[in-house]
């Protein structure tokens, strides 16, 4: 089963509308490489103009969160219906920053994954252990629990569409990346958990990214591992040249 590599930039709370437009103008045509899917996950405010700018390109636009209800009295929230209406294709769900700072639980993550599918959005579901969990030998257990929760109630065909991002929390934004061998070990394990939930063919179809201080100079090393299908990248996705180099490096 060949899985198309996917590099997704997670801009977090960076870039105004005009900064996003300038970035896109710089990467257009260059961050479009045969055989690699290129995704930019931007703040909500930049999504309408980015979706417009991305028309006719192979770059997909993603959000970084959604609410699990379609609409309602949820002040400040954005729903899957709204993202679909904009033409957004991907949505990050359960990023560790949302789990840590916005009390996002496995149950909420599951509801959001269902809301994504209901609105034709592809979820990029983040799982990963804290430093103390790693030191206690709990990495695989934590990833298994989070993965099982995220796939709860999905059909095999939906499951095959999910993108999982394995992001050891101690490696996010710290410059301390996991070795590619360690990342492969955990990602291979996550794939085996998915096989246990469904079957080997479904697990073989799921794309699993590594995330955590991925840079242009180490992306190829991760891509060389058999179960690693791309990267979710924060800091190094913010500069056009670096983003282009990440896409090039994933070929």
Tokens of 169: 């929390």
Tokens of 152: 């709860």
x-or-dash pattern for ligand PEP, window 9-48, by CB under 6 A?
-x-x------------------------------------
Q: How far is the CB of 139 from ligand PEP (least distance, A)?
A: 16
Residue with tokens 């990495």: 139
Report the Cα 79 to chain-centroid distance in Å: 18
In the residue annotation, 97 being an active-site residue is answered as no
Task: Please state, in angstroms and as integers, the Cα–Cα distance from residue 75 to each residue in 48, 66, 202, following that order.
Answer: 20, 13, 38
Contact 244, 27 (CB under 8 A): yes
Of the candidates 120, 109, 122, 235, the one whose C-alpha atom is nearest the C-alpha of residue 176 is: 235
If one asks whether residue 172 binds ligand PEP (CB under 6 A), the answer comes out as yes
Q: Is 173 annotated as a binding residue?
A: yes
Beta-bridge partner residues of 137: none
**Residue 50 or 202 having the CB closest to ligand PEP:** 50
What distance in Å separates the CA atoms of residue 33 and residue 106, rounded to the nearest whole number?
35
Report the Cα 142 to chain-centroid distance in Å: 18
If one asks whether residue 162 binds ligand PEP (CB under 6 A), the answer comes out as no
Of the candidates 151, 178, 152, the one whose C-alpha atom is nearest the C-alpha of residue 163 is: 151
In the residue annotation, 95 being an active-site residue is answered as yes
**Residue 12 or 191 having the CB closest to ligand PEP:** 12
Q: How far is the CB of 8 from ligand PEP (least distance, A)?
A: 9
Which residue, judged by CB position, is nearest to ligand PEP in the bound state?
A: 234
**Residue 110 or 213 having the CB closest to ligand PEP:** 213
Active-site hit among 67, 95, 97, 129? 95
**Residue 202 or 250 having the CB closest to ligand PEP:** 250
- Residue numbers at the binding site for ligand PEP (CB under 6 A): 10, 12, 167, 172-173, 211-214, 232-236
Q: Which residues are part of a known binding site for substrate?
A: 10-12, 173, 213, 234-235
Q: Which residues are the active-site residues?
A: 95, 167
């Amino acid at each position: 089963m060949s899985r198309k590599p996917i590099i997704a930039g997670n801009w977090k709370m960076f870039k105004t509308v005009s900064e996003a437009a300038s970035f896109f103008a710089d990467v257009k045509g260059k961050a479009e490489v045969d055989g690699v899917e290129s995704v930019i996950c931007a703040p909500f405010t930049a999504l309408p103009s980015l979706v417009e700018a991305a028309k006719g390109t192979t770059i997909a636009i993603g959000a970084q969160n959604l609410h699990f209800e379609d609409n309602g009295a949820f002040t400040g929230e954005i729903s899957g219906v709204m993202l679909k209406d904009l033409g957004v294709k991907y949505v990050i769900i359960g990023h560790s920053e949302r789990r840590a700072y916005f009390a996002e639980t496995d149950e909420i993550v599951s509801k959001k994954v269902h809301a994504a599918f209901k609105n034709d959005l592809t979820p990029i579901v983040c799982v990963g252990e804290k430093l103390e969990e790693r030191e206690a030998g709990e990495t695989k257990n934590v990833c298994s629990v989070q993965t099982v929760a995220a796939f709860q109630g999905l059909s095999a065909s939906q499951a095959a569409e999910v993108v999982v991002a394995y992001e050891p929390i101690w490696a996010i934004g710290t410059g301390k990346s996991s070795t590619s061998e360690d990342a492969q070990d955990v990602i291979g394990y996550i794939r085996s958990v998915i096989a246990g939930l469904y079957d080997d063919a479904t697990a073989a179809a799921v794309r699993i990214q590594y995330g955590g201080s991925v840079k242009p100079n180490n992306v190829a090393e991760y891509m060389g591992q058999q179960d690693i299908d791309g990267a979710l990248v924060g800091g190094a996705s913010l500069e056009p040249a670096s983003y282009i180099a990440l896409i090039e490096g994933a070929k």
